[in-house]
């Protein structure tokens, strides 16, 4: 197939659904790691079409959703108290911090700007030499190369007024955390194709071996997901556990070596706090000491008191796949996109937002 529309063909969807129905003989739970996969499953009504004894569990693959309260508070502090030009992807603006969101801060006068690329922030720093410019660098491995590139460009240009507030998280450690959780009942994973397009497949072989679970790398269109689910089910039914690549049109086994090299040049792996989940060992990126002048945490000596999560929000349980969004007592009541209690209700990859906006796919409602 050559065109994206071919991965949405109803006849192919029906074909894969038939094969899945014929293959499933026992109850299985499969976690799709990425929020983009979740949105596609919900938006396209796929959850309603799958066999009743095949349950899809929504995972922690939404980097905006797992950005800690403390980091959002730090970003607001920089914008309000240090009067920096704070730049961010649009997803982050409405995510609630401990007291307010970036959007609320912007509404009261903070200079917060939505950009599509961190390289735009570097350009802003060049154009405003009298102002500090900070880019809120949020994302999985997918966005890390562009954020690293912005630091490299700023360094080459000799910019002293550019830095990043890094909040990068990594997928394989998150899968480990899910499997190590006593409440988890996940039997297989659909891995995120765009992450593997950067990082390759090597990090997933140890996970398959350690936990004896199938891992299938998939894309994001309906046919991609259904083919990936079928591949996963066939492994589960036959008692196999191996790594397979459904998204071979995009993902190569070694990923993108140039992008990985850029990441390694600027970032190093560190322990990272995940909102609603807790600390996961070696699950994030921080700026290397060679580029410490571009680390906003160090540059501004930010010391913000740790905030407590909203007790009414069950985002952590949703992100770990323990509960579905509609099982939250506040879902659609106190918690809506206009008045979110947690990040999964406002992020474009958040599971709660997917269920809220595409209500026809809600299971059990």
Distance CA 270, CA 278 (A): 14
- Compute, in degrees rounded to 10, the torsion defined by CA atoms 36, 228, 170, 137: -30
Distance CA 251, CA 172 (A): 16
- Whether residues 263 and 351 fall in one domain: no
Among 27-41, 190-204, 314-328, 346-360, where is mean pLDDT lowest?
346-360
What is the CATH classification number for the domain harbouring 286? 3.40.50.11740
SS3 326: helix
- Whether residues 283 and 324 fall in one domain: no
Residue 196, pLDDT above cutoff 90: yes
Given pLDDT bands bounded at 50, 70 and 90, which one contains residue 50? very high
Given pLDDT bands bounded at 50, 70 and 90, which one contains residue 8? confident
- Whether residues 286 and 145 fall in one domain: yes
| The pTM of the whole model exceeds 0.75 | yes
Buried b (16+ CB within 10 A) or exposed e, 61-98: bbbbbbbbbbbbbbbbbbbbeeebbbbbbebbbbbbbb
- Whether residues 350 and 299 fall in one domain: no
- Whether residues 259 and 294 fall in one domain: yes
Is residue 361 in a domain? Answer: no
Among 92-101, 321-330, 353-362, where is mean pLDDT lowest?
353-362
Per-residue model confidence (pLDDT) at position 359: 59
Is residue 82 in a domain? Answer: yes
Is residue 129 in a domain? Answer: yes
Is residue 363 in a domain? Answer: no
- Whether residues 234 and 274 fall in one domain: yes
- Whether residues 135 and 280 fall in one domain: yes
Q: Tell me the pLDDT tens digit for each residue of 273-322.
A: 998 888 999 999 999 999 999 999 999 988 887 778 888 999 888 988 88
Among 289, 306, 323, identify where a domain stops. Answer: 306
Residue range 348-361: average pLDDT?
A: 80
Q: Which residue range is the domain that position 8 belongs to?
A: 1-306
Residue 1, pLDDT above cutoff 70: no
Is 357 in contact with 338 (CB distance < 8 Å)? no
Residue 361, pLDDT above cutoff 70: no
- Average pLDDT score, the chain: 93
Residue 112, pLDDT above cutoff 80: yes
- Whether residues 190 and 62 fall in one domain: yes
- Cβ neighbourhood burial of 224 (10 Å; 0-12, 13-18, 19+): buried
- Whether residues 331 and 297 fall in one domain: no
Is residue 364 in a domain? Answer: no
Per-residue model confidence (pLDDT) at position 2: 65
Among 69-73, 128-132, 261-265, 303-307, where is mean pLDDT lowest?
303-307
Number of compact structural domains in the chain = 2
- Whether residues 281 and 332 fall in one domain: no
Q: How far is CA 132 from CA 84, 87, 186, in A?
A: 5, 11, 45
The DSSP code sequence of 180-242 is H-TT----EEEEEHHHHHHH-SGGGHHHHHHH---EEEE-SSHHHHHHHHHHHHHHHHHT---
Is residue 365 in a domain? Answer: no
Given pLDDT bands bounded at 50, 70 and 90, which one contains residue 360? very low
- Whether residues 212 and 66 fall in one domain: yes
Residue range 210-239: average pLDDT?
A: 97
Is 302 in contact with 78 (CB distance < 8 Å)? yes
- Compute, in degrees rounded to 10, the torsion defined by CA atoms 316, 319, 322, 326: 90
Given pLDDT bands bounded at 50, 70 and 90, which one contains residue 269? very high
Dihedral pair phi/psi, residue 46, rounded to 5°: -65, -35
Given pLDDT bands bounded at 50, 70 and 90, which one contains residue 3? low
- Whether residues 300 and 322 fall in one domain: no
Helix (H) or strand (E) holding 113: strand 112-114
Buried b (16+ CB within 10 A) or exposed e, 149-182: bbbebbbeeebebbbbbbbbbbbbbbbbbbbeee
Distance CA 25, CA 47 (A): 18
> Residue 141: how many CB atoms within 10 A of its CB?
26
Residue range 245-260: average pLDDT?
A: 97
Among 306, 328, 346, identify where a domain stops. Answer: 306
Is residue 277 in a domain? Answer: yes
Is residue 185 in a domain? Answer: yes
Is 225 in contact with 218 (CB distance < 8 Å)? yes
Per-residue model confidence (pLDDT) at position 363: 45
Is 141 in contact with 195 (CB distance < 8 Å)? yes
Tokens 């038939």: give the residue. Answer: 18
């Amino acid at each position: 197939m050559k065109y994206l529309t071919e991965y949405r063909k109803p006849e192919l969807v029906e074909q894969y659904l038939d094969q899945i129905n014929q293959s499933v003989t026992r109850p299985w739970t499969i976690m799709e790691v990425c929020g983009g996969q979740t949105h596609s499953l919900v938006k396209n009504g796929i959850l309603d079409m799958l066999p009743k004894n095949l349950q899809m569990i929504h995972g922690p693959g939404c980097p905006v959703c797992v950005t800690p309260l403390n980091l959002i508070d730090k970003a607001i502090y920089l914008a309000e108290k240090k009067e920096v030009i704070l730049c961010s992807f649009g997803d982050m603006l409405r995510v609630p911090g401990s007291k307010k969101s970036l959007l609320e801060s912007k509404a009261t006068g903070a200079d917060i700007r939505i950009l599509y690329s961190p390289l735009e922030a570097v350009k802003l720093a060049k154009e405003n030499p009298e102002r500090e410019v900070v880019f809120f660098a949020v994302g999985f491995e997918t966005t890390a190369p562009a954020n690293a590139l912005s630091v490299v460009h700023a360094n080459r240009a000799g910019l002293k007024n550019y830095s990043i507030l890094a909040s990068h998280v990594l997928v394989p450690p998150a899968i480990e955390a899910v499997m190590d959780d006593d409440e988890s009942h996940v039997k297989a994973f659909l891995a995120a194709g765009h992450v593997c397009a950067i990082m390759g497949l090597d990090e997933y072989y140890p996970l398959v071996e350690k936990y004896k679970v199938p891992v299938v790398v998939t894309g994001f269109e309906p046919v991609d997901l259904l083919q990936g689910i079928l591949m996963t089910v066939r492994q589960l039914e036959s008692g196999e556990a191996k790594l397979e690549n459904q998204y071979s049109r995009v993902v190569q086994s070694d990923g993108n070596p140039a992008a990985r090299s850029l990441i390694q040049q600027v970032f190093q792996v560190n322990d990272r706090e995940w909102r609603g989940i807790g600390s996961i060992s070696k699950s994030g990126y921080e700026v290397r000491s060679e580029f410490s002048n571009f680390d906003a945490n160090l540059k501004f000596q930010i010391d913000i008191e740790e905030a407590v999560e909203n007790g009414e929000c069950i985002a952590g349980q949703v992100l770990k796949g323990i509960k579905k969004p509609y099982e939250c007592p506040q879902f659609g009541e106190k918690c809506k996109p206009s008045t979110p209690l947690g990040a999964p209700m406002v992020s474009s990859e958040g599971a709660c937002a997917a269920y809220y906006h595409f209500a026809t796919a809600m299971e059990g409602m």
